[in-house]
Structure 1
Amino acid sequence: MTISLNKTIAYTKNWKPTFWIALVLGVLLSLLLITLEPFDNSNSFSNKYFILSGYTLCILIPVLLVHPIENYFYTLQTNRWYIINEILYVVSTLFIIFLFSFLYHFYVVSGLSSFTFASIWDFIKDYGVPFIPIVVPLWVYLRSKYGVIEVPLYDKENHKKRTSVTITGNNKSETLTIFESDFVFARAQQNYVDIYFNTESGMQQKTFRSTLSNIMKQLPTAWQVHRSYLVNLDYLTAVEGNARKRFMKISKTEETIPISQIYYRALGKRLSNSPQELQN
């Protein structure tokens, strides 16, 4: 079973959960250092516990510094966050955490005055990497737990805009140029994606050899509501079902579209906060 790196996942956008997640990780790191005492000169510390607790800042500060940058890319991707984004975020932020930890260890804990790039690498290898299996899984879990998948509120004026977009598949001959507002929904079946769109003669369908994530990147108005479905939420008319099985109805078609649990909460927020009119 393969995992698409372009799959949308929950994202921690707000500062408050970001701060608390970073604080929890920082305190955990400090407790591990106090308990395990990985440094050879641990017994020579003056105010040892106080100094080791300072490593909390080595996680807290980098996470808060990087947060505006990740929010920028999140906004740039029309409030979408993908698995590949999360991987790049964790790797890059982890590297910054290592640098902060090294500088803290070098100047505050060891009291030294000069270092080399080799000493940075040795510190990361000896004292940083061993903590990755403990800290990173908890980090990713907390970001997922307190993150959300955002669904945009209905914008009547935006629905009226006539901005065109060209969709392409894996084969160069597979192209479709439509207005963004005319896209209705897309359904993935194995290696193919069926796209349904409005025309003057009614709704039509075109099949592309592609993946759902690839199509989603080409359609700013497309929002994933299920592993096999993208929908233009401006055509959403109703969300029905129960906790075990939910689906949505959209105008222009009689087809009911399933909703995955992770998207339901965001859809509920959209419906409760926007006076969306039913589309004809």
Structure 2
Amino acid sequence: MMLSFFRQPYPLSELTLSRTLVLSVLFGVIIAFTLIVFQPFGSYNWHDPSKNLILAGYGLVAAVSVFLNFYALRRLLPTLFVEARWTVAKEIIWNLAHFGTAGFLCTAYGAAVKVMPFSLAQISYMTMIAFFMGLVPAVLLVLINYVFMLQRYKPLTPLPHKEPAPPLATPAQDLLLTSENEKDALTLPAHNLLFIEADDNYCTVVYLEQGSVHKKLLRTSLSRLESQTSALNIVRCHRSYLVNLDKVESVSGNAQGYRLHFPHTPGTVPVARASSGVVKAAFAPI
């Protein structure tokens, strides 16, 4: 049961450079304040004219450690940080790995300012301190956020059509989807479109024809096709998907967000968390 929980999907945070810098500075300030004011781990027995300045330096080290783990590492190892494979366990491990980095950097800094030796034993000791300081908060915050995200992305079901307003996508409307070179094109009734998926320089149009699912590959951008469908109930729910909301059968959800289910298709379409409001506007909680 517990192992199953740790395998549950977990949202992978999207930290921009600016947000990471703010987070790093904030974390560093908190660490520096804690060390100077409360002086834990026996530092209150240590006396030095530059004591507060040296302790504040550990705040700078903590800020650098946060930046390395939450931004630089993800850019260096992008294949490890894929949301489709991200789980509760990976999030906890990633957060705890930060304390290993912090332990090493703190030891290197302590040796540089001549307050501790640079040795494997000292690195292990500093890592252990950082680990035990952060273990409970790291795990607890992940669990709290997981429960919050589950509540936020509860399964949804289509709202009944309101009368007398006509549906936004009707059989009388046709779509003309053209490629970049305008040589390849696809014309179909708007109500037959399920979704459009982008992959590099190509888009796959998934649609119904005589009750069967068909696919058409076009060399074009998703933005171009979006402009060709802007008047319909077809919306961008993800950087790689346009969907026809009239064709959604149901909406499932987990901590990573919503997923749209379409008729006659085994897979699902992800909804970006930034676009969840569009989906909520079209569907009601079960």
Matches within 5 A, 1:135-150: 136=138
Q: Is the 8 A contact 2:96 2:135 kept in 1?
A: no
Match of 1:108 in 2: 113
Q: Output the amino acid matched with 1:16.
A: S
- Cα deviation for residue 97 of structure 1 reads 0.7
What pairs up with 1:149-164 in 2 under 5 angstroms?
A: 155=198, 158-160=202-204
Alignment map for 1:184-195 (pairs within 5 Å): none
CA RMSD in angstroms, aligned pairs only: 4.4
Offset from partner CA, 1:173-226 (integer Å, 9 cap, x none): xxxxxxxx76x9xxxxxxxxxxxxx8997259xxxxxxxxxxxxxxxxxxxxxx
Match of 1:54 in 2: 57
Find the counterpart in structure 2 of residue 99 from structure 1. Answer: 104
Aligned residue for 2:244?
237
Corresponding residue pairs, total: 189
Preserved CA contact (<8 Å) 1:21 1:139? no
Q: What is the CA–CA distance in structure 1 between the aligned matches of 2:210 and 2:77, rounded to whole Å?
A: 37
Match of 2:192 in 1: none
Task: Specify the alignment match of 1:68 in structure 2.
Answer: 72
Note the C-alpha offset of 1:270: 8.6
Residues 1-280 of structure 1 correspond to what in structure 2 (within 5 A)? 2-40=4-42, 42=44, 43-66=46-69, 67-71=71-75, 73-74=77-78, 80=84, 81-108=86-113, 110=115, 112=116, 114-125=117-128, 127-133=129-135, 136=138, 155=198, 158-160=202-204, 202-203=212-213, 234=241, 236-238=243-245, 249-250=246-247, 255-258=249-252, 262-263=257-258, 265-267=273-275
CA distance in structure 1 between the aligned counterparts of 2:79 and 2:101, rounded to whole angstroms: 23
What amino acid is aligned across from residue 202 of structure 1 in structure 2? Answer: S
Q: In 1, Cα distance between the equivalents of 2:48 and 2:41? A: 10
Unaligned segments of structure 2, at least 5 residues: 154-195, 215-237, 259-270, 280-286
Does the 8 Å contact 2:11/2:83 carry over to 1? no
- What are structure 1's unaligned runs of at least 5 residues? 161-180, 185-197, 205-230, 239-248, 272-280
- 1:237/1:250 contact within 8 Å kept: yes
* Partner Cα distance (1:134, 1:35) in 2: 22
Q: Deviations over 1:47-100 (max 9, x none)?
A: 222221111122211222232332455567665443343233223222011111
Which piece of structure 1 moves more, 130-139 or 38-47?
Answer: 130-139
> Any idea what SS the aligned residue of 1:159 has?
strand
Displacement of 1:37: 1.6
Distance, in Å, in 2 between the alignment partners of 1:269 and 1:128 is: 39
Q: Give, as a single letter, the amino acid of the residue that structure 2 aligns with 1:13.
A: L
CA deviations on 1:16-40 (whole Å, 9 max, x unpaired) are 2222222222222222212332354
